[in-house]
Structure 1
Amino acid sequence: MKKITAIASAVVLAAGLAACGTTSGGGGGGGGGTSAGAGTFTAPDVPMKKSLGAMEGQVNILAWPGYAEDGSNDKSVDWVTPFEKKTGCQANVKYFGTSDEALTLMKTGQYDVVSASGDASLRLIASGDAAPVNTALLKSYPDIQPFLKDRAWNSVNGQMYGVPQGWGANLLMWRKDKVKPAPTGWDAVFEKNPPYAGKITAYDSPIYIADAALHLMNTQPDLGIKNPYALDQKQLDAAVAVLKQQRPQISEYWSDYLKEQQAFTSGDTLIGTTWQFIANLVEADKVPVGVLFPSKGSTGWSDTWMVSSKSKNSNCAYAWMDYIAGPSANAQSAEYFGEAPANAKACDLTTDKSFCATYHAADKAYADKIWYWTTPIKQCLDGRKDATCTDYGQWTQAWTEIKG
């Protein structure tokens, strides 16, 4: 029950996002360890909760599949029922398949809290659909890994807009019995005449443009790309050209992790982008694969629980965020989902005692090499004041052209 569909398939960036002031400062990813929030990004004036009150009796949760399991999918997997018993808040959980779907549902005002990926969180903030979060009201917040706090995708000018859930990197995987010599970086999937043409896979989302931009950061410094989510038109055109060149070599763009697992097992795919838990599944099938986190960095995700500005059950919403960010629930959800938990104490409670080592949960140096998914906006996330960057609507249009 992992992220079964693409993080975003088609969207026109909300007009309000482009009009919400300028953005500069820390940028959208690791790449050297910058951790500032979204610079001078001006968020709408949405009030922040000042104190906790009586529980309302229910909370309406929007979640990625695997984040809020109540035993209905697997009787042995249930951390929602203990929350309900502890708080008296009935958890009404709705799963979504893409960030766009989550955004649409949040705008209805029917949901109190959402697990937002970095390609959605700024849009929720800019549209006024997400409220700033008073972390002083959350007992579990001090235990969240410091390198996940006050980042460009979950905060604005030092104000957090949510509670980190978990994170992970996009990795390079290959069939060791077919791909020789072993690849050393992303060049293996972006070179002009790859030896494994037609056997390469890539993630099916406009956000994958950032992977090409990161490749160009490392190979064509004259383009001036400092942040793969902050591309002016010339830089976007260069990234698109790389992906159009790559397109004929792609066996299949994947969004369903089971299909990627099957493709590597059958040999229809020999090399490409993956997630750690997919690699674990393939290795469990006795398929000889290698997995690499390239030394020059990678893209990845960090998901955040955010509360709706229209929440009618804000006390139960805060109770849920505090609970799911606590060590026990965070350990269970992260292990089931397949990502590093955000709570530093969660690693002592995972079933697999090597889990956090496998997922680098406490490894800040590793985390700092990840450029986490962040919504591209017209105000350049790399701090440029003399340039206009391309937004997610333009990325979506470009992705449609790339795929043909």
Structure 2
Amino acid sequence: MRHTGRAIIAVLAAGVLTLAGCSDGGEDGGSGSGPGGMSVPKIDKLGSLGAGEGAVNVIAWAGYVEDGSTDPKVDWVTGFEKETGCQVNTKVAATSDEMVTLMKTGEYDVVSASGDASLRLIYGGDVAPVNTDLISNYQEVFEGLKNKQWNSVDGQSYGVPHGRGANLLMYRTDVVKPAPTSWGTVFDPNSPYQGKITAYDSPIYIADAALYLMKTKPELGIKSPYALDDTQFKAATDLLTQQNKLIGEYWSDYTKEVQAFKSGNSVLGTTWQIIVNLSKADKAPVEAVLPTEGATGWSDTWMISSKAKHPNCGYLWMNHIISPKANAGVAEWFGEAPANKLSCAETVDKNHCATFHAEDEAYFANVWYWTTPVPQCLDGRTDVTCKDYAAWTQAWTTIKG
């Protein structure tokens, strides 16, 4: 298969999170207060583009920066290097934590940051606000991805949107009948599919339980699946502890989930669209739905270091990687919805954007992008303390047993 799939980075289980809730940064990234009183350091954005410095040092998820060495047909780097004179030096990172650590060294110019990395980098002063006027392709980015909580502060962009996707409910059509429409099918204590249900192996999966409870038990008062007080958190973790008896295996490696559904060891559970596609290509009788309660999801952003040694090449790279053809190439290879709306005309598979709902904002309106929980409740409450990600991590270990 040409597709590496998003799950080529198996460790996304802990890595791709979005720290939501923003602050009063200025148009130039001026200081302001964010979640928990975090402040945005004063960092100037680039005023104008100069000549390329001859290189750009990139930190990226696997599959985001392909130069033809993996597959000769998959190359959106070589042409960029010839056109700009900027040699692309890529460091593939395995986790968001690794990306943050690497960016702090000042040795890298740009990073394809996931949510928890993005705001940590902003508030840590490790990335600079982005002058989108210098990125011509930015104007063609879907509006639904611009100036969001994971890539901006008070209207100031700190990155260039790259792509997005939802966490879906996949099922074997020959076993699971009738076709499921609700997440309730994976939480039913009397499920006939006990031992063959699968779930995403990460503390952030607690949000999936919270989202289900938010829609089905309004008396809990959950407004965001990432802002849980003691009572709400206990309800979500209790539900997952109960679900644990139904789970055959937790997954974080896409190849293992494909094989599990193909063999029938798993017949129902969370997935990504790319996994659905690969499973079908392997002749597994599967379908997937966005359940009636909605779903969690993810989005990534290209960001530039506040200490970039090659800022001009960095900007040239960010503009190139979201250009219609390059962004289409990444989206198809990686398995996601592209950020550039013109990319839909450039994909080899002309149904790609329809498959990944790239142009369907109503679809993504039902997606709660992964959000790192913090003590200061991200739903705006100030009279209670919410559980932070450390508590989620500890609880997840207990849930799995």
TM-score by length of 2: 0.91
Q: Match for residue 367 of structure 1?
A: 364
Report the AA paired with residue 125 of structure 1: I
Q: Match for residue 205 of structure 1?
A: 202
Q: Match for residue 267 of structure 1?
A: 264
Quick one: structure 1 residues 59 and 357, their matched pair in 2 at CA, closer, same or farther if it must change by over 3 Å? Answer: same
Structure 2 residue 86 is the aligned partner of structure 1 residue 89: yes
Structure 2 residue 133 is the aligned partner of structure 1 residue 136: yes
Q: Match for residue 215 of structure 2?
A: 218
Which has the larger displacement, 282-291 or 67-76? 282-291
Q: Structure 2 matches for 1:237-248, cutoff 5 A? A: 237-248=234-245
Provide the rounded CA distance (Å) in 2 between the counterparts of 1:42 and 1:294: 37
Structure 2 residue 192 is the aligned partner of structure 1 residue 195: yes
Contact 2:111 2:302 in 1 (8 A): yes
Query: SS at 1:398's partner residue?
Result: helix
Higher relative contact order (CA 8 A, sep 6+): 1
* Offset at residue 391 of structure 1 (A): 2.2
Q: Match for residue 229 of structure 1?
A: 226
Q: Structure 2 matches for 1:35-74, cutoff 5 A? A: 42-74=39-71
Provide the rounded CA distance (Å) in 2 between the counterparts of 1:67 and 1:386: 42
Structure 2 residue 307 is the aligned partner of structure 1 residue 310: yes
Which has the larger displacement, 128-137 or 138-147? 128-137
Q: Match for residue 29 of structure 1?
A: none
Structure 2 residue 6 is the aligned partner of structure 1 residue 9: no
* Offset at residue 126 of structure 1 (A): 2.0
Q: Match for residue 331 of structure 2?
A: 334
* Offset at residue 295 of structure 1 (A): 2.5
Provide the rounded CA distance (Å) in 2 between the counterparts of 1:102 and 1:400: 24
Q: What does the per-residue CA deviation read over 1:69-94, in whole Å, with 9 as the maximum and x for residues that have no partner?
A: 01111111100111111111100011
Structure 2 residue 300 is the aligned partner of structure 1 residue 295: no
Query: SS at 1:272's partner residue?
Result: strand
Q: Match for residue 400 of structure 1?
A: 397
Q: Match for residue 345 of structure 2?
A: 348
Report the AA paired with residue 302 of structure 2: W
Structural RMSD (CA): 2.1
Matched pairs, number? 385
Provide the rounded CA distance (Å) in 1 between the counterparts of 2:164 and 2:291: 17
Q: Which runs of 5+ in 2 are unaligned?
A: 25-33
Q: Match for residue 28 of structure 2?
A: none
Contact 2:15 2:116 in 1 (8 A): no
Provide the rounded CA distance (Å) in 2 between the counterparts of 1:351 and 1:318: 27
* Offset at residue 8 of structure 1 (A): 4.4
Query: SS at 2:136's partner residue?
Result: coil
Provide the rounded CA distance (Å) in 1 between the counterparts of 2:239 and 2:43: 41
Q: Structure 2 matches for 1:94-109, cutoff 5 A? A: 94-109=91-106
Provide the rounded CA distance (Å) in 2 between the counterparts of 1:297 and 1:229: 14
Query: SS at 1:301's partner residue?
Result: strand
Q: What does the per-residue CA deviation read over 1:145-190, in whole Å, with 9 as the maximum and x for residues that have no partner?
A: 0011111111111111101100011110011111112111111112
Query: SS at 1:140's partner residue?
Result: helix
Provide the rounded CA distance (Å) in 2 between the counterparts of 1:9 and 1:142: 32
Query: SS at 1:48's partner residue?
Result: coil
Structure 2 residue 120 is the aligned partner of structure 1 residue 123: yes
Contact 2:52 2:84 in 1 (8 A): yes
Provide the rounded CA distance (Å) in 2 between the counterparts of 1:71 and 1:10: 26
Contact 1:210 1:299 in 2 (8 A): yes
* Offset at residue 43 of structure 1 (A): 2.1
* Offset at residue 24 of structure 1 (A): 7.7
Q: Which runs of 5+ in 1 are unaligned?
A: 26-37
2:377 corresponds, among 373, 376, 380, to 380
Q: What does the per-residue CA deviation read over 1:240-278, in whole Å, with 9 as the maximum and x for residues that have no partner?
A: 111111112111111110000000001110100111111
Query: SS at 1:304's partner residue?
Result: strand
Q: What does the per-residue CA deviation read over 1:82-119, in whole Å, with 9 as the maximum and x for residues that have no partner?
A: 11111111000111222222222222222111111223
* Offset at residue 229 of structure 1 (A): 1.4
Provide the rounded CA distance (Å) in 2 between the counterparts of 1:195 and 1:128: 51
